[in-house]
Amino acid sequence: MVDHRLSEEHEALRQSVEAFARKEVAPVIGEYYERAEFPYPLVRGMANMGLFGLPVAEEQGGMGGDYFALCLALEELARVDSSVAITLEAGVSLGVMPISRFGNEQQKRQWLPRLASGEVLGAFGLTEPGGGSDAGATRTTAVLDGDEWVVNGSKSFITNSGTDITALVTVTAVTGEKPDGGKEISTILVPAGTPGFTVAPKYSKVGWNASDTHELSFDNCRVPAENLLGERGRGYAQFLSILTEGRVAIAALGVGLAQGCVDECLRYAGEREAFGHRIGGYQAIQFKLADMELRTHTARLAYYDAASRMLRGESYRKQAAAAKLASSNAAMDNARDATQIFGGYGFMNETPVGRFYRDAKILEIGEGTSEVQRMLIARELGLPSA
């Protein structure tokens, strides 16, 4: 029997995050957004709820939940604001999970309790200025010199990399050459404040303005040899695994934004009058809202399916790519329709839909562009790669 009802534990979590988003995030996030300021009090609130440790085992300092619990939390946060949601998403899927999945026992003991508690944040340094979607074109290098790695290179668009509570960045780097002549890519843990590790000033962004994003540079940055994360030369495979998980989380975030558009438009359509009637009574508005609800519902089912396959230990690469593609499309289309329903008010930054419109576009780019998702789906269908 197919049953999409949430368990009691998942529903209780969903309700608690929904209440936090409505009562704590919604009243203040607009001001943080306009100031492009990182919302430390809200991050502390999420930390106090245990959200950064949701999919981490209790013995590692986490809540002992599952990845689907993280997705539910992200959806509820993004219904109100995506900056707060992406801070949690990146903090967990890109900060915590690489160490949880691939770290040795010493690395887990050193980093996971603080990361899972939300006391500190971790970041994942993958994208490079000239690389974009071609992660295999990594140019950052890490050369083993005695008992230290010497890291040189740069990373761009790295979330949670420059906050006052950022503790480390996991960096992909070329550490040698494979027997076939290809690049040997490994992942290295670089603690914040390491000499030679520089965080550039924050970007001026179109959206996600209350989240933290920087370019990073490494100039003869030395870290201990034991900061190698996982097996040498397996960095490419590791980050592909992390990105597949992350696509499910980003899909949940996109569904949250799409649902937020529906929520706001339903409220507005019941209040706004035009030509003597509330606009919710006009079929043109009703049809838009019906389409918005359909997109949201379909995208939610897609990420539920991907998450359930992940938790059962089944292959879910195709489903994760499909969920990410469906949710980013739904978010972008719903944000556009919501702005149209709100009219001039939808173009104002003080309205949630104004923020939704600005935040939606990055979902078609970050953690794998929509074009990359289509490539992945095609490969999973057995079609040849170019």
Catalytic residues: 367
Distance CA 156, CA 135 (A): 12
Reference 260, options 194, 190, 352, 364; nearest CA is 352
**Where do the H-state alpha helices sit in the chain?**
8-20, 29-35, 40-48, 67-78, 82-89, 97-102, 105-117, 235-271, 283-311, 317-342, 352-360, 370-380
Contact 351, 357 (CB under 8 A): no
Report residue 87 as tokens. 């801070």
Nearest partner of 228 among 161, 178, 172, judged by Cα = 172
What SS3 state is found at 216? strand
Question: What DSSP character marks residue 344?
Answer: G
Those residues with Cβ within 8 angstroms of residue 115's Cβ, 6 or more apart along the chain or in another chain: 52, 61, 91, 95, 96, 99, 121, 122, 167
218: its two tokens: 């490494």
Output phi, psi for 277, to 5 deg.
-140, 155
Closest Cα to residue 320, out of 255, 373, 263, 386? 373
With vertex at residue 190, the alpha carbon angle to CA 189 and CA 196, rounded to the nearest 5 degrees, is 155
SS3 state at 227: helix
d(CA 73, CA 68): 9
The token pair at 341 is 């329903």
Which of these, 284, 288, 355, 292, lies nearest to 329 by C-alpha position?
A: 292
Closest CA to 127 of 319, 362, 327: 362
**Torsion from C-alpha of 183, 188, 193, 198, nearest 10 degrees:** 20
